[in-house]
Structure 1
């Protein structure tokens, strides 16, 4: 086998040689005015394509540089737009929260005007028992604000419950949907009395509360009739809306009726309440 020659001319020397030849050719062409000669022809075949290639590479690099510059500009603009979107989103959330609070205050104001004969104090809910419903919860007003046990609490469109415990700066409220709650109610259409019972299972299943012992001897009670607190209630002041008849049926004794009420209050979302500072007169007839 023949060995390959190890002698190899470095590429840099070849490049230098070719560059020298090109330089000499250019010099001879200009000094000897061989514009129409063979050197000019060679130059046309060699340097023109080279120039075109250089121009193409230069244009390509310039375009890439411009694109990179535009990309950086677009990215910077995109960051500014993201910051503006974040600021506008935050502002919109603040406006929504303020609108929600304003709606709640308007609702409380309307409720306050609905029962103008009672003195009231507004309070915020600060905690609640476990579960979906506000059956037992705590408000941020107490004895320093004139609140006492057995005072009525209202929100939304009507009755929430009654104060069961009071501290200097807080009070606990048991709502009418709690299992231990009972309220003497009355139909506004007939003045017939009934007993409204709290039932968390019924709230979980149908979002209703129960009523029993309705003496509707004239069969005038109907679905949709409002039920309010009765004048014979022992703790609740008269005329506070409890809810509306949702279902109605005759009991097995054929003397009374029972059914369910749709509460006047959204017991899943309570944030602000009004506490009625007027307590039920203990001298009235109780039930």
Structure 2
């Protein structure tokens, strides 16, 4: 008997889902009929009841749909903004490259303009423009190599200009290169002259004073009338055997009497930036005076024998 009861109980449990399914389907049909009646009945309590039930449902559906639509719109807008951002980045890169190119071109143009101005200051000399391609170690361009040589008319002993005046002299020349020693080098000596008084002096290179105060030294100035003043320009002298006359060297920075009370010495600030030399002018003429050998000639002979 208990076995039959358990069997009937299992059959009873299997029929429960079918009943619930029938009830659900009945509810759905009723809801569908109610919806249909709502649309066909112009008034009455049925429509009011439907309004309470279905209007909130419709609002919820509309709100959900609007949210989804907004999200889709935002996503599309984001993609558009990202594409525009990529385009803007590409434009910025192009503009940056163009700006850099323009700056380099302007820098080169300024250098060439400076060379033209320098060329105009010394119109009586024939010159060749050249670029610095190598230098010795250190902060200063005390000695360096240029990209022009004998095939361009450059030879040993020719004067080199940059900035506003004298750089140095050519000490060696090949077919397509030349080496230059600057007036700031310790081994350099130049016969100079104070242009305001025409008093002669000797200008000597001095790396130590260049490192300390960016000046070189002068000695053997005879200034009996004390006319030479700080700030006076110093140029190459007409008595120089190796340097063309009247090339600006720099301006007097300090003056002091020597112990012999006959001459003076001091310092000169060069007019050339010896830290940033890039382009120079080489005067393609040699100084020929026919005078006796001087300190400059002795120094040149020593250099040519050792180089």
TM, length-normalised to structure 1? 0.87
Question: C-alpha separation between the residues in 2 aligned to 1:258 and 1:119?
Answer: 34
The equivalent position to 1:160 in structure 2, one of 167, 191, 205, is 167
Q: Post-superposition shift, 1:78?
A: 2.0
- For residue 262 of structure 1, what is the aligned residue in structure 2? 269
Distance 1:16 1:106 in 2: 100
| Match 2:31 to one of 16, 25, 38 | 25
Deviations 1:112-142 (A, max 9, x none): 1211111111111111112221111110001
Higher helix share: 2
Instruction: Work out whether 1:95 is the aligned partner of 2:106.
Output: no
Structure 2 distance, partners of 1:169, 1:96, is: 30
Range that drifts further, 41-50 or 187-196:
41-50
CA distance in 1, matches of 2:84, 2:93: 14
Aligned ranges for residues 6-17 of structure 1 at < 5 Å? Answer: none
In the superposition, the TM-score normalised over structure 2's length comes to 0.82
Aligned to 2:65: 58
Q: Which runs of 5+ in 1 are unaligned?
A: 1-6, 8-13
Please report how far the alpha carbon of residue 239 of structure 1 lies from its aligned counterpart in structure 2 after TM superposition: 1.0
Q: What CA RMSD, in Å, does the superposition of the two structures yield over aligned residues?
A: 2.4
Of the three residues 279, 283, 294, the one matched with 1:272 is 279
CA drift at 1:241 = 0.6
Aligned residue for 2:301?
A: none
Aligned to 1:238: 245
**CA shift at 1:277, angstroms?**
1.0
- Matched residues in 2 for 1:65 and 1:88: separation? 34
Q: Gapped runs of 5+ residues in structure 2?
A: 1-12, 14-19, 295-307
Does 2:84 align with 1:77? yes
Displacement after TM superposition at 1:42 (Å)? 4.8
Aligned residue-pair number? 275
